Structure formats: C-alpha cells, structure tokens
Amino acid sequence: METLNLLMEGFASALTPINLLFALVGVILGTAVGVLPGIGPAMAVALLLPVTYGMETSSSLIMFAGIYYGGMYGGSTTSILLNTPGESSTVITAIEGHKMAKAGRASQALATAAIGSFVAGTIGTALLVTVAPFVVKFAVSLGAPSYFAIMVLALVTVTAVLGSSKIRGFAALGLGLAIGLVGMDPVSGQSRLTFGFAPLIDGMDIVVVAVAIFAIGEALWIAAHLRRNPARTIPVGRPWMGKEDWKRSWKPWLRGTAFGFPFGALPAGGAEVPTFLSYVTEKKLSKHPEEFGHGAIEGVAGPEAANNASAAGTLTPMLALGLPTNATAAVMLAFLTMKGIQPGPLLFENEPALVWALIASLFIGNTLLLLLNLPLAPLWAKLLKIPRPFLYAGILFFATLGAFSVNMQTADLWLLLLLGLLGFALRRFGLPILPLVLGVIIGPMAEQQLRKSFQLSAGEISGLWSEPVAVTIYIIIAILLLIPTVLKMIGKARGGASELTAGLAAGGAISEDELEKTELRLPTGARRSADDEQDGKDKS
C-alpha cells in the first residue's frame, strides 16, 4: 500500500508539464539514436551529461529514462528495416524481422515490436515497483564483503558469460579497472597512475571517459569505414496488425517478458541471453515452425518483448543496489554520483521523490513511445538517409564541448582524444565496450567495499568470505564460469551441440554457424569482431 502511495506521488511529480516535456524530449531523442546504428542510448546520455548541470536532477533523470527506453524501440526499427541491429540485444529481432520486411510485412513486424515493447516495458516496470523494495530490504542487511561479491559477480558475468570472447572481455575489463584506478587513493591519499600529471589527481572524469569511448571512438571508427554500399528503403506504411497477427503475438509477448525481466534484474544483466532463449522457445512452441527463418511474427514479438522487459529489469539492481549492468544504466549512475547522490540501497530511503518520479516516468515514457512509434515509424526510418559525415560532425562537436565544459581545462580535451583513440582501438580489435565502461564505474565502488571489508577483518583475506551471502555468490560465479565449458563438453560427447546448448555456450550471442544458417548479414555494430577477422583474412 505504501508503495502505491509513493508511486502515485511519483506520478504527480512526473506529470508536471515541465517533466512531461523532458520525458517527451527523452523518448524522441532516444528513438532517434536507437534508429541510427552505432549511436546508442549510452552515447546519447553521455553526450547530454554536461547539459544537465543547470537542470533539476529529477527532470534530467526522467529525460535519461526516456532515452533509455526510446533506444530499445528505435533499435528494433533499424533491425527490421535494414538488418543492421544497433545493439547486440536486437540481433535476434533482425533475423525474423528483416525477413518479414522483405516479404512485404514490415508494417506488421514494426507493430508487433512496438506493441510488444510496450506490453513488456509496462509489465517490467510494474515488476520493478514490486521487486525493488524487497531487494532494498535485503540489500540493507548486507555487509561490505557481500557487496564486493555482488560487484564481482556483475563484472564477471558481463565480461565472461556475455559476449563472444572471454579473453577480449577480460582485456576490456582490465582496461576499464585501470582507468578507474587513476587518481588519489581514497584511503591513503597516495596518487596512483597519474604519472606526475596534475589534472589526473582527481581521477578521470567519467563524462570524459564515457564521451571519449562512446562518441569519439565511434566517430573515428565510422570515419575509417565511412563508405559502404547503401541499402534501399523498404517501403513501410503505417504499422498495423491483423487479427491473426494479434493472435500469434500476444503469447510470445508475455513469454518474452517472463524471460526478460529476471535476466535483467539479476546483477548479471544482458539482454542477449533472454532474447535468444525467447527466440528458441517460440520456435519450439510455434504452430508454424516452418515459417521460422522466413519471417515468423512470433520470432519478432518474443525477443523484442524480452529485450524491453530486461531493460526494465536492469533498473532493479541499478536503483536498489546502485549496481549498473548495462552501459546506459552505468552512465545514468555516474550522473547520480555527479549530482552528489549516493547510489545504493539507501537511495529509496533518502531520495524517494526522485526514485518514484523516475519509475512513474518510465510508465509515461513507455506510453509516449507507443504513441510516437506506431504512427511515425516510416518517418524514423528516414533518419537513415542522413549522410553520416554531417551526423558525426555534430556528434564530435557536442562531445568536445561536453568534455571541455566539465572542468574547463584543456587537459581534458587531450584526454578525450587519447581515450577516443582507445575507443577506436577497442572497436578495431573487437574488444567489447561494456566491460570497460562497467570497470570504470563499478571499479572504484568495488574497491571501496574491498577496502572496507579488509578494514573490518583487520587485513585478513578471509574477511572476504565471512558472510554467507558472499560465499553463495562466489559459488554462483564459479558455476557460471564453468557452465559454458561443461555444456560444450556435453555437446561434444553427444556429437554436435543442440541449438540451445550451443547458444548458451556462446553466452547467448549467436554463433557463427547460426549466423550462416539464418543468412544474417554481419551487422556493423554488434559483431564487429567477426567483421574484423574477415578484414584481416582479406588482407593476408
């Protein structure tokens, strides 16, 4: 009951004209960046961080939430129309969605994706309201060792379980943790990794790091691969669905939500696994299995719902534990820290107005997105005709302006360029971006908990597993790390892994042969590593 009252207060605050306006700006921006491959919600939020200095915290957070959800909607549009998934979570949507579009059913694919996203987003947000207070109650009882264990779990799963290559994941994580270490030691006051360079003593500003890795790195990458054979627009009318489409869509929506939310809510995150599981399940349960691979509507409805439900789920650990598990949540959390708000289980107690206004705005944003996306989908697709030099010139301008405005010092611009080159190198060598960003943001938090545990145990290393929760989590980590190997061995023993085990072993990312089987063209964003290997082979 108390929760409901708080939620109503949240609605009252989110429905003020000014906040409603920010929600609208957020969803429009979010859809736009979601539609454009390579520019994701994380980059948009990072670029907007400096703009929010003069804004109220709740208004900016509402706008960011709009961008976050909007990115999910926009991503599906590009996947369906162009077969170029902007994010790894929409790779699965592209398989069936693009086939549907080619068969002249683009309108139905867009409609089932949009309505499915709305259904899943709304249910997911409702689940967030129900689950988050329990998580908070549980989290307040946890000590530093357990916190540290949870953070390790988040870092390990994002790095090793998701994504295609463990080595590349850990390399990116290491880089991120190293960047997070730069600056003054919080306990002893020693300067670390500053190389006698004065501006580094305060640490690297998260705005500079995020903008450099997301915006500059991507711009350099695009500049190096600017020209490609342009695609033709697939004509779309206004998205709509017939009676048959509704009948075939509503069950996959609900099942997708059921897959998506728990995966998002775990401090492991990732939308790849649930979208893949949903796809496989729909394929098994469908009455029209022969249509899969040729544009089955269930194959769009399920994964798209799973994707959005997991996006809602991701906000549970972010708000209740202060632990982000995807890039956008990480940048949003950095924003809270910047505003002097301590993220963590006490957030609900200390800033109830802010949290509940944010949650209420998620419901509002979701509705706005459905209203914006259903009639305007053909308009959004027009964004893809913008010549990319214009687009990236704008992004570089805002990136530089943003990085400079943080501290008004030229040193930040050099840092921006340097980290931008690092971002380019990451893309060039197929290193995932997410572990790096999470390393930068979770790293210092984890260090704090680690130091605290050691202070409590007087330097004894056994202090790390002094709590039962911590022990349980370490066991889970061990199991998670072992599962793929075990599954692979079982698969080999059986002589060829089944689709499901193969998919799980690959961490939900579809494997190369899967890609060939479905004739999915290698998208620019999500599977760059594979692209690069191809390039390397061509050269040699």
Partner 1 sequence: MTIVVGYLPSPQGEAALDQAIIEAQRAQARLVVVNSSKGDALVDDRLIDAREFHLLEEQLTSAGLDFWIERSAQGRDAADEILRVAQAQRAQLIVIGLRKRSTVGKFIMGSTAQRILMQSGCPVLSVKAGNAW
The number of residues that bind partner 1 (CB under 8 A) is 19
The C-alpha torsion from 506 through 510 and 515 to 521, rounded to 10°, is -130
**Whose Cβ is closer to partner 1: residue 84's or residue 112's?**
84
Q: 372 to 411, contacts with partner 1 by CB under 8 A?
A: 381, 384-389
Whole-number minimum distance, CB 391 to partner 1, in Å?
A: 9
The residue among 381, 446, 269, 410 whose CA lies nearest residue 34 is 381
**Which residues fall within 8 angstroms of residue 95, CB to CB, at 6 or more apart?**
279, 293, 299, 518, 520
Could you tell me the smallest distance in angstroms from the CB atom of residue 62 to partner 1? 30
Residues 249-288 that bind partner 1 (CB under 8 A): none
In the complex, minimum distance from the CB of residue 376 to partner 1, in angstroms, rounded to a whole number: 17
- Separation of alpha carbons 445 and 450, rounded Å: 9
Distance CA 512, CA 55 (A): 46
Q: Shortest approach of partner 1 to residue 525 CB, angstroms?
A: 12
Among residues 84, 275, 449, 501, the one that binds partner 1 under rule CB under 8 A: 84
Q: Is 232 in the site for partner 1 (CB under 8 A)?
A: yes
Nearer to partner 1, 386 or 482 (CB): 386
DSSP-derived secondary structure for 415-472 = HHHHHHHHHHHHHHTT--SHHHHHHHHHHHHHHHHHHHHHHHTTT-GGGGG-SHHHHH
Please compute, for residue 428, the number of CA atoms within 13 A of its CA located in the half-sphere on the CB side: 12
| Closest to partner 1 by CB, 82 or 311 | 82
- Is there a contact between 264 and 316 (Cβ–Cβ < 8 Å)? yes
Q: List the one residue from 18, 21, 103, 231 that touches partner 1 (CB under 8 A).
A: 231
Q: What is the 3-state secondary structure (H, E, C) of 49-103?
A: HHHHHHCCHHHHHHHHHHHHHHHHHHHHHHHHHHCCCCCHHHHHHHHHHHHHHHC
CB atoms near residue 271 (< 10 Å): 30
Q: Closest CB to partner 1 among 197 and 397?
A: 397
Question: Is 33 an interacting residue with respect to partner 1 (CB under 8 A)?
Answer: no
* Shortest distance, position 295 Cβ to partner 1, whole Å: 20
Quote the CA–CA distance of 118 and 73 in Å, as a whole number: 9
Residues 123 and 311 sit within 8 Å (Cβ to Cβ): no
| Residue with Cβ nearer partner 1 (198 or 226) | 226
Q: Which stretch binds partner 1 (CB under 8 A): 175-183, 223-231, 363-371, 416-424?
A: 223-231
Q: What is the gyration radius of the CA atoms in the chain, in angstroms?
A: 22
Least distance in Å: CB of 393 to partner 1? 12
Q: Which is nearer to partner 1, 152 or 236 (CB)?
A: 236
Distance CA(343)–CA(512), nearest Å, equals 39
> Does 364 participate in binding partner 1 (rule CB under 8 A)?
no
Q: Select the span of 124-132, 220-228, 332-340, 356-364 touching partner 1 (CB under 8 A).
A: 220-228
* Residue among 168 and 388 whose Cβ is closer to partner 1: 388
Site residues (CB under 8 A) for partner 1, limited to 100-159: none
Residue in 188, 229, 462, 540 binding partner 1, rule: CB under 8 A: 229
Distance CA 419, CA 429 (A): 15
Nearest distance in Å: CB 387, partner 1:
5
- List 10, 30, 34, 37, residue binding partner 1 (CB under 8 A): 37
The nearest distance, CB 378 to partner 1, in angstroms, is 12
Q: Of residues 12, 18, 140, 226, which one binds partner 1 by CB under 8 A?
A: 226
Rank residues 237 and 389 by Cβ distance to partner 1 and give the closer one. 389
CB of 233 to partner 1, least distance (A): 5
Query: What are the b/e assignments for 317-351, b being 16+ CB within 10 Å?
Result: bbbbbbbbbbbbbbbbbbbbebeebebbbebbeeb
* 121 CB-near residues (< 8 Å, 6+ apart): 69, 72, 308, 309, 311, 312, 362, 366, 369
What is the binding site for partner 1 (CB under 8 A)? 36-37, 82, 84, 226-233, 381, 384-389
